[in-house]
Amino acid sequence: MSGQQREITFRFLAQPTDVNFGGKVHGGMVMKWIDQVGYACAVAWSGTYCVTVAVGGIQFVQPILIGDLVTVRCQLIRTGHSSMHFAVDVLARDLKSQQERLATSCVIVFVALDTPDGRPTPVPAWQPQSDADRRMAEYADRLSELSKAMEQQVVERHPELGRG
């Protein structure tokens, strides 16, 4: 199976093409980076093709500026049968002052797929090893419950979308 890599980090400079009309990196670009690092981590853990199924608890804490060194850090915090939850932190560092700040934080969920049929396929199980791991796994559980409740609200609002 896979090498079951639990963490992946991307680093790069925020570029002028990444910014919005206010001169800050726009949220859509940050979400793209989160999805990319999450995908890399999901495939590294599962050893198979994966798709994004949810992003929860996303918080845009501080802006990212052109020229900041951006670090997008992703860590597995929970596994299900075919799903994987990852905590993602986006950090921005001013290279002149060397001050680093948390810019964005969230949990992203991927499902591993059996590529010939596109059906969910089992992933290697992960168990928390430390108190910090247990806290993050509990956080993922709470977000998962909230996500299920939100999905139920959408189905109630749009009965034609009901799962059969």
Mean pLDDT of 37-47: 97
| Pairwise CA distance, residues 26 & 100, whole Å | 19
Tokens of 77: 């915090």
**Res. 26: pLDDT tops 50:** yes
Contacts 24+ apart (CB under 8 A), 146-155: 146/56, 147/54, 147/56, 147/109
Rounded to whole angstroms, how far apart are CA atoms 47 and 112? Answer: 9
Could you write out the DSSP letters of every residue in 65-116? BTTPEEEEEEEEEEE-SSEEEEEEEEEEE-TTT--EEEEEEEEEEEEEEETT
Q: How does DSSP classify residue 23? A: S
pTM greater than the 0.75 cutoff? yes
Name 25's bridge partners.
19
Structure confidence by residue, pLDDT tens digits, 45-91: 999 999 999 998 899 999 999 999 999 999 999 999 999 999 999 99
Contact by Cβ (8 Å): 111, 92: no
pLDDT of residue 144: 85
Q: In this prediction, what percent of the chain has a pLDDT beyond 90?
A: 76
- Residue by residue, DSSP assigns 26-72 as -HHHHHHHHHHHHHHHHHHHHSS-EEEEEEEEEEE-S--BTTPEEEE
Q: Domain 7-126 falls in which CATH fold?
A: Thiol Ester Dehydrase; Chain A (3.10.129)
